[in-house]
Amino acid sequence: MEPLIRKIILATDFSEASRDASYHALLLAQTYNAELKALHVFELRPLGIPYYKPKKADQTVEDIEKTRQRGKDMLKELADSFDVEADTIFAEGHPGPEITRIAAELNTDLLILGTHGYTGWNRFTIGSVAEFVVRHAPCAVLTIKPTDRDKK
């Protein structure tokens, strides 16, 4: 019998929620002996400031390129930290549409991503990438809520 999950994409923004999702992606890739790809979508807009970008009011082209390279480096570090071979995909654009487009192009069986759990104003202004992906993905989606380590 052929396994149901052969290709897994972990979509990450390097947040705490994404770190939790990474654990699940690795575990499932090992369990199913599935191909694992780590994906990061670099979004350059005021509300889409990456977690790894230093906060600074003025952005020069050089600053943006340094931030882009830092994202690529962090993605490679993440993939290298896995106990399985994992490819990386660094894309640019709006995260939700890019994640679903790439999943479709690669005939992905499972998308895994963390969710921040924004509600109210934050969800309205920042949006919900996880919600977009769940609604538009061409495959199964596993969303991981961040754990509250302070309460444990």
Q: Which tens digits make up the pLDDT trace of 103-143?
A: 999 999 999 999 875 555 444 444 588 889 999 999 999 99
pLDDT at 126: 44
104 located within any domain: yes
2 located within any domain: no
Strand partners, 140: 110
The number of folded domains in the chain is 1
- Tokens 């896995």, residue located: 82
CATH number, domain containing residue 113: 3.40.50.620
Tell whether the torsion through CA atoms of 133, 142, 3 and 75 is positive or negative.
Answer: positive
In contact, 93 and 41? CB cutoff 8 Å: yes
What domain range is 57 assigned to? 7-151
1 located within any domain: no
CA 39 to chain centre: 6
In contact, 39 and 96? CB cutoff 8 Å: no
53 located within any domain: yes
Phi then psi dihedrals of residue 49, to 5 deg: -65, 120
Window from 22-31, 60-69, 72-81, 122-131 with minimum mean pLDDT = 122-131
d(CA 3, CA 126): 37
pLDDT at 122: 45
| 109-118 burial: b if 16+ Cβ within 10 Å, else e | bbbbbbbbee
73: left (phi over 0), alpha (psi -120 to 50) or beta: alpha
d(CA 137, CA 140): 7
Q: Over the stretch 32-63, which tens digit does the pLDDT of each residue have? A: 999 999 999 998 765 445 555 555 555 566 77
CA 41 to chain centre: 7
98 located within any domain: yes
